[in-house]
């Protein structure tokens, strides 16, 4: 399978980009579909746990003023984590729906294929690393 290689850094990960010179195979798409499905299930469970931390059962909340202040601070953090997790869950669901279309794995900006290693790390990626850097995302 002919490829072009390029070294780049994504977050804390250094990866070698392999840009395919032709479309993703069915087996590769199936692999990403399974990966996305697993991540959706895991993230859905994590979101349920976050909701429980944000909204404790009646009578199980803080009992005094100091505990209430600490609870509110923690609740604020849990709310932010919940919002970010929900956004990612929506992106994963969107990617899952697009996986069988020719658009999956194609950068929205340059319309080149997104490196397979990037999709392994972030299967809901909409942009290649070069375009993300150019767009400041």
CA distances from 39 to 8, 24, 34, 121 (A): 24, 21, 9, 11
Q: How far apart are CA 41 and CA 27, in angstroms?
A: 21
Query: Taking a C-beta distance cutoff of 8 angstroms, is the pair 86, 78 a contact?
Result: no
Write down the mean pLDDT value for the chain: 81
Amino acid 102: pLDDT: 86
- Please state whether the predicted TM-score (pTM) of the whole model is above 0.75: no
Q: What is the pLDDT of residues 57-97, one digit of tens each?
A: 666 666 778 777 888 888 888 899 999 999 999 999 999 99
At 44-55, the pLDDT tens digits run 999 998 888 887
């Amino acid at each position: 399978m002919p490829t072009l290689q390029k070294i780049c850094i994504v977050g804390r990960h250094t990866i070698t980009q392999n840009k395919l010179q032709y479309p993703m195979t069915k087996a590769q798409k199936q692999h990403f579909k399974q990966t996305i499905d697993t991540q959706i299930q895991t993230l859905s469970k994590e979101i349920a746990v976050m909701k429980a931390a944000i909204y404790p059962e009646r009578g199980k909340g803080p009992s005094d003023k100091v505990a209430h202040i600490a609870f509110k601070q923690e609740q604020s953090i849990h709310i932010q984590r919940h919002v970010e997790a929900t956004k990612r869950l929506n992106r994963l669901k969107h990617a899952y729906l697009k996986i069988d279309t020719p658009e999956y794995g194609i950068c929205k900006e340059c319309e080149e294929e997104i490196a397979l290693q990037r999709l392994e790390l972030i299967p809901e990626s909409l942009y290649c690393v070069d375009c993300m850097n150019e767009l400041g995302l």
